[in-house]
Amino acid sequence: MRSDKFLRGREDDVQQEQSGQQRQMRLGVFVQVPGHHVGGWRHPDAVTTDWPNLPLMQRIAATAERGRFDMFFLGDGFATGYDEHPSTIGKFEPLTLLAALAMTTTRLGLAATGSTTYAEPYHVARGFASLDHISGGRAAWNVVTTAYAKSSAVFGRPHPPHAERYAMAEEFVTACRLLWDSWDDDAFVGDKLAGRFVRPGSLQVPHFQGRYFTVDGALNVPRAPQGHPVLIQAGSSGPGQALAARIADVVFTAQNDPAEALAFYRAIKAQAVSFGRRAEEVLVMPGVMPVVGRTQAEAQALFAELNRNIDTGQAFTVLSERLGMDMSAFPMDGPVPTPPPTEHLKSRAALLMEMARRDDLTLRELYYRVAAARGHLLLVGTPPQVADVLERWFRTGAADGFNVMPPFFPGPFDAFVDSVVPILQERGLFRADYAGSTLRDHLGLERPVRN
Ligand SMILES: Cc1cc2nc3c(=O)[nH]c(=O)nc-3n(C[C@H](O)[C@H](O)[C@H](O)COP(=O)(O)O)c2cc1C
């Protein structure tokens, strides 16, 4: 654990931004039930029954909205099996779940992951446009290329290599944007007197011919309240960053070192500018796992309890997948072996190996860190200690906000909302109430004009 260093911070990191007081932090909750920590689900307070448990999801969404969070975020993948991370074995399909949650929330942004490797642009464009209507402008799409080859099994086709997946993603998003712009904003007039349900001249049929995808027809959903749903991108390799800088409104990333987080943040903003965008149009949100206690000892005790509950098979699946090599064959108290270049999560493998070298970790130590937060920032401490680190990362320009990853649900998320959020609000770092109604309003992002 490097919590002391994180909690104390490095004075030379702290360069107060000119506009630091006015800038507002963005907060999302990364919902992986029963919990992000591999051992989280076995905590006595974790909800694990009546799976996949809609009331639990409704409760988490209500808590996020009470905490004035920007968004509720669902990851997604297609693999299941005994040795998977418990949060991926059995779950809701994201878009149908978010449509249900749109009915029990009024302001909270609703973000789901959608694959550009295992779907058609039409299906994804239609689903998110529809969710944006159902929720009154609160939809976001996490654009992923789906990193793991095992995801391909259910589709019965080979898993494309990393570079090809990103080439497909570029085309996929371009096609979706054209589909979302099929209809003018004011196309559906419903004019009974004139006998016009739709205004003539309001349809622009997309004609897109790519290498991987072709679209030669329009979307049968009116233009969405947000124009386009908010686009999130979460790949941090070279091609991942390039895609993010070109198309993303929000970048999710795993970072655990302040200096590297700062460098990543600057690289994304600089690339966005090179694509003719303003730096503020792309928000960078690293993940953070808060393990909060009333005292530091209480927080450490909770963390120790979570670690005692780790299932070795599941933890090695998570670790081996991230590194692209079976790690269970190596001695736990030896050095971390160097894996060959991976075609899966390139940036995460690099981040974990960098962390292992920087902190001189044994395989066992790396195993525990990955079983907890999978390489994301891990903070074990009191509410003010956790708030201090978030504030420091935010003010130094390493983050525009955070994607909160509770070790299990619902307790630790309640604790974050009830004890850390009020501190951030008192410090003027986070909103006391929502000012607008759409997710673009919350994030301070413009509504895309139809081309
Ligand atoms: C916060 C966060 C959430 C992610 N969620 C998903 C997900 O739900 N499904 C998925 O297939 N990949 C997910 N990823 C992985 C990335 O989309 C990407 O595939 C991965 O980082 C590999 O790409 P890279 O080599 O460009 O980093 C996530 C990454 C991050 C940082």
The residue contributing the CA closest to ligand 1 atom 30 is 234
Q: What is the pLDDT of residue 2?
A: 40
pLDDT over 70, % of the chain: 95
Domains of the chain are 3-17+24-159+216-443 (3.20.20.30)
Nearest protein CA to atom 21 of ligand 1, as residue: 235
Pocket probe for ligand 1: among 88, 342, 345, the residue whose CB has the most ligand atoms within 8 Å is: 345
Q: What is the pLDDT of residues 228-275, one digit of tens each?
A: 999 999 988 999 999 999 999 999 999 999 999 999 999 999 999 999
Structure tokens at 239: 């091609």
- Average pLDDT over every residue of 179-189: 98
Confidence grade of residue 179 (pLDDT, cut at 50, 70, 90): very high
**Does residue 6 register a pLDDT over 60?**
no
Among candidate residues 358, 356, 328, 353, the one with its CA nearest the CA of residue 342: 353
**Residue in 117, 109, 164 with CA at minimum distance from that of residue 145:** 117
142-159 b/e (C-beta count within 10 Å ≥ 16 → b): bbbbbbeeebbeeeeeeb
Q: In whole numbers, what is the pLDDT of the chain averaged over residues?
A: 93
pLDDT at 235: 83
Asked if pLDDT for residue 420 goes beyond 70, the answer is yes
**35/411 Cα distance (integer angstroms):** 10
Q: How far is the CA of 235 from the centre of ligand 1 (A)?
A: 5
**Residue 397 beta carbon below 6 angstroms from any ligand 1 atom:** no
For 176, the token pair is 């979706």
- pLDDT at residue 236, as a whole number: 86
Nearest to 128 by CA among 119, 116, 140: 140
- pLDDT digit string, tens, across residues 77-94: 999 999 888 899 999 999
31 lines ligand 1 (CB under 6 A): no
SS3 call for 341 = coil
Q: Residue 13 has what pLDDT?
A: 37
Tokens coding 380: 């074990």
CB of residue 135 inside a 6 A radius of ligand 1: no
Predicted confidence band at 195 (pLDDT cuts at 50, 70, 90)? very high
Q: How far is 342 from 255, CA to CA, in rounded Å?
A: 19
Is the CB of 256 inside a 6 Å radius of any atom of ligand 1? no
pLDDT tens digits along 105-154: 999 999 999 999 999 999 999 999 999 999 999 999 999 999 888 889 99
Q: Which residues on neighbouring strands pair with residue 26, listed in sequence order?
A: 401
Mean of pLDDT values over 319-341: 92
Distance CA 294, CA 298 (A): 6
234 lines ligand 1 (CB under 6 A): yes
Residue 50 CA to ligand 1 centre (angstroms): 28
